[in-house]
């Protein structure tokens, strides 16, 4: 009996863990319809499709090369990757391993799908990057943080009238800010970054996240 593996992934913060379950359920229905035997489920929740450095994805490739399944089923080609080069590389590796790639959206994937869909996904990533940069610039112009937490600041946790979290507000952490000012002052007086760090560690002053 043909062994079919499943791959599922989501990356958007608007999606949730249930998205993986939904994808797997639909893929299982396709496997049952075809009369195949389910081999393994590989998943990467909350990881971008722009990178192949995903645990589930890498394990899937390893098992494909080992001959653990003959068919790989996914919801759509962009669940596997959004990068045109990676899509082509994946198709080449699966083909070499004798594995057919089936998606619920595109059907059985061939060279034509790889070319057209890979181009569309690459354009999507480019457009997404531009929108992300524009959104971050807008947040910064409003006096909000662009993301992450810098040493010298604390996250301000507040709720709006609807009870939703207000994101992007920061307040100065005076204890850490004193260290930041000290670092700049010592550097301005000619001390090297290495010497400054050595002095702070000698005084057991904790750095970011409490580390040296």
Top pLDDT among 120 and 167 is at 167
pLDDT digits (tens, 9 = 90+) for 73-100: 999 888 998 777 888 899 999 999 999 9
User: How confident is residue 112, by pLDDT bands cut at 50, 70 and 90?
Assistant: confident
Residue 129 pLDDT greater than 80, yes or no: no
Q: What is the largest CA-CA distance in the chain?
A: 75
Instruction: Compute the residue count for the chain.
Output: 212
Structure confidence at residue 118 (pLDDT) = 60
pTM for this one? 0.58
User: How many Å apart are CA 37 and CA 22, to the nearest integer?
Assistant: 19
As given in the structure block, the two tokens for residue 66 are: 């080992």
User: How many Å apart are CA 84 and CA 50, to the nearest integer?
Assistant: 9
The H or E element spanning position 126 is helix 111-141
- Give the chain's mean pLDDT: 87
pLDDT digits (tens, 9 = 90+) for 5-26: 999 998 865 556 668 999 999 9
Residue 210 pLDDT greater than 70, yes or no: yes
Nearest to 88 by CA among 73, 110, 69, 107: 110
Q: Which domains does the chain have, with CATH numbers?
A: 3-126 (3.40.50.1390), 144-212 (no CATH)
Nearest to 102 by CA among 70, 71, 64: 71
Cβ neighbours for 142, distance < 8 A, ≥ 6 positions apart: 168
Helix, strand, or coil here: 109?
Answer: coil
């Amino acid at each position: 009996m043909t062994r079919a593996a499943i791959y599922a992934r989501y990356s958007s913060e608007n999606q949730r863990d249930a998205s993986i379950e939904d994808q797997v359920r639909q893929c299982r229905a396709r496997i049952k319809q075809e009369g195949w035997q389910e081999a393994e489920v590989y998943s990467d929740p909350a990881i971008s499709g722009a990178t192949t450095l995903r645990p589930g994805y890498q394990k899937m490739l390893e098992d494909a090369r080992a001959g653990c399944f003959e068919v790989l089923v996914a919801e759509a080609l962009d669940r596997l990757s959004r990068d045109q080069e990676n899509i082509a590389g994946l198709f080449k590796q699966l083909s070499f391993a004798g594995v057919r790639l089936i998606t619920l959206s595109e059907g059985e994937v061939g060279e034509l799908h790889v070319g057209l869909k890979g181009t569309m996904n690459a354009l999507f990533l480019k457009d997404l990057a531009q929108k992300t940069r524009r959104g971050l610039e807008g947040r910064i112009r409003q006096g909000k943080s662009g993301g992450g937490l810098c040493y010298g600041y604390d996250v301000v946790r507040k709720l709006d009238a609807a009870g939703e979290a207000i994101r992007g507000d920061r307040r100065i952490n005076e204890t850490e800010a004193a260290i930041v000012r000290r670092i700049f002052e010592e550097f301005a007086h000619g001390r090297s970054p290495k010497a400054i760090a050595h002095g702070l560690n000698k005084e057991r002053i904790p750095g970011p996240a409490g580390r040296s």
